Structure 1
Amino acid sequence: MLLSPHLDDVALSCFGALAGGVAATVFTASPARPGVLSAWDADCGASSSRDLMAARRAEDEAAAALAGATARHLGFAEQHHRDEPLDVAALTAGLADLTAGAAEVWVPAAVYGNPDHATVRSAAFAALARAAVPSVWLYAEYPYHVYLTRSGEDLASWFARRVPSADPEPVVRTLTGGELARKRAAVSCYASQLGPLDRTLGGRLLDDDLLGVEYAWRVRRG
């Protein structure tokens, strides 16, 4: 079970763990009001956030199929699409139900402080505190971990300060050959998001040395 804040985070960040798993994305709802257009959605070339979210859900289904995974959409609205505060209790309860009985759960680390990512991490930890899940991992979100290291921060030091329950050193997975090609194909399904994301990395989003390296930390339980 891999928890994804937004509809591209798992494919971008921990594709190596995705095959045969369930990618459960939290923020998948269209805005309740018509006419909403967030700044990010406008940068993606959209004229309607509602229409864009429908397209993004379809992109996610296509990416999951390429990865050999199952997509689950939990139906909460992301920060820029909601008028009311997020019902964190409902999210936590939903994640507890979703992860009950799972052998392994992957949680976003909220590297670089994206508020939606931090909310999912906190809710997931609250849900998992009451669950007997044998294996819990935190994954560093791409491209956020690149932003962090480019700012001069060391990724392992960041984890040691922010998530002391995690192992001090990451497990680094380097994708090559067919696995990297499959990741690139899956990520390319998120066509609506690629332009703005690519610009944040100076046109290097799909470069092998960035796209092909994934970082995860095992969370110590008990």
Structure 2
Amino acid sequence: MIVSHLADLQRSYHHIVLSPHLDDAALSCGSSLAAAVAAGEPVLVVTICTAAPPTDMQFSTLAQQFHADWGLSPTMVMQTRCREEETALSILGADGLWVGALDAIYRMPAVYNSRAALFGEPAAGDPLFTTLHDLCHQLRHRFPHATVYAPLGVGNHVDHQLTCLAAATIEGPVMWYEDFPYVVRPGALEQRLDILDWSLRPLVRTIDERMTTRLAAITAYASQLAELSCSQLGHPIANGEAVDVMADAVRTYARQVAAPGTLYGERFWVRSGDCRYT
């Protein structure tokens, strides 16, 4: 089930994942979500940036480049990506809430008009933070005992940074996931942890039995894989190679963070003093 309003949710959830874009939850922690569902613990993926760009807007050069990389016209971007998300969430067994915010390149096109700006400091007055702050507190009020998962902000995409900071304002259990594929870049994780300067500790979940499910969900986001493989993994590819390149990167990183004696892991970060997690 996917809804567009919090009031339309009919279930109680053990796990609530804040996903800035249509793909971040599956890319970063899809195996853990699938494992939770398999254990009978309902999962809600809250995807923030799901609004279609206005039909009359003037797109920046950066937005036009993304459209070309994705192989999608502006009118088809969100239609296509939402269909991909429907497939991915079905594979994971999760429900979805689409918040309807605009992606940074559409929300403030004159500001986030270059990769340096998009992966730099969030702009003063960016309205997304207020939206996210209010949303996080509404979710906590509605689901007081659920664990909230948020991006750590590795890679510094402004939408990820704002989601990370909004999640930090709520009480109760919160875990931050490592943003994939940004986290594979050498030093990116350490840089982000230094910037945050929070008291956090790592927590690794073993995902040996759920790697196939995560990869299947990631593959559903066909429009995104080539651009992510090239821009974030540094792997120029032909059209048919994107799935294999991404799958190799996912497996390689999951092996790097796996607990001793296990094959694959997904790593999260929690507040050092939070005793709910072992």
- TM-score by shorter chain over 0.5: yes
Percentage of identical aligned residues: 30
1:165 maps onto 2:199 in alignment: yes
Change (3 A) 1:156 1:213: farther
1:191 maps onto 2:246 in alignment: no
CA distance in 2, matches of 1:174, 1:146: 18
Q: CA RMSD in A?
A: 2.4
Change (3 A) 1:71 1:221: farther
Structure 1: segments with no counterpart, 5+ residues: none
CA distance in 2, matches of 1:110, 1:83: 19
Q: Aligned to 1:16, which of 19, 31, 42?
A: 31
**SS of the residue 2:200 aligns to:** coil
Q: What is the number of residues matched between the two proteins? A: 209
Do 1:5 and 1:26's aligned partners in 2 also have CA atoms closer than 8 Å? Answer: yes
Q: What residue is the counterpart of 2:150 in the other structure?
A: 107
CA distance in 2, matches of 1:111, 1:182: 24
Per the normalisation by structure 2, the TM-score is 0.68
**SS of the residue 1:6 aligns to:** coil
Cα deviation 1:143-163 (Å, max 9, x = unaligned): 01012x2xxx27357425524
Cα deviation 1:141-189 (Å, max 9, x = unaligned): 1101012x2xxx273574255242322xx2234533x411111111111
1:214 maps onto 2:266 in alignment: yes
CA distance in 1, matches of 2:191, 2:49: 29
1:46 maps onto 2:46 in alignment: no
CA distance in 1, matches of 2:145, 2:197: 22
Change (3 A) 1:197 1:55: same
Cα deviation 1:56-109 (Å, max 9, x = unaligned): 111111111110111111110011012484253233112210232142111110
Worse-matched range after superposition: 4-13 or 208-217 = 208-217
Q: Which structure 2 residues correspond to residues 148-159 of structure 1 after superposition, within 5 A?
A: 149=186, 153=187, 155=189, 158-159=192-193
Change (3 A) 1:103 1:163: farther
Q: What residue is the counterpart of 2:82 in the other structure?
A: 57
CA distance in 1, matches of 2:19, 2:151: 7
**SS of the residue 1:75 aligns to:** strand
Q: Aligned to 2:102, which of 77, 86, 104?
A: 77
Structure 2: segments with no counterpart, 5+ residues: 1-15, 110-125, 236-241, 255-263
CA distance in 1, matches of 2:165, 2:67: 26
Do 1:138 and 1:219's aligned partners in 2 also have CA atoms closer than 8 Å? Answer: no
Q: Following TM superposition, by how much is the alpha carbon of 1:219 offset from its aligned partner in structure 2, in angstroms?
A: 2.1
Do 1:3 and 1:108's aligned partners in 2 also have CA atoms closer than 8 Å? Answer: yes
**SS of the residue 1:2 aligns to:** strand
What amino acid is the match of 1:86? P
What amino acid is the match of 2:135? G
Do 2:32 and 2:205's aligned partners in 1 also have CA atoms closer than 8 Å? Answer: no
Q: What residue is the counterpart of 2:246 in the other structure?
A: 205
What amino acid is the match of 1:219? R
**SS of the residue 1:42 aligns to:** helix
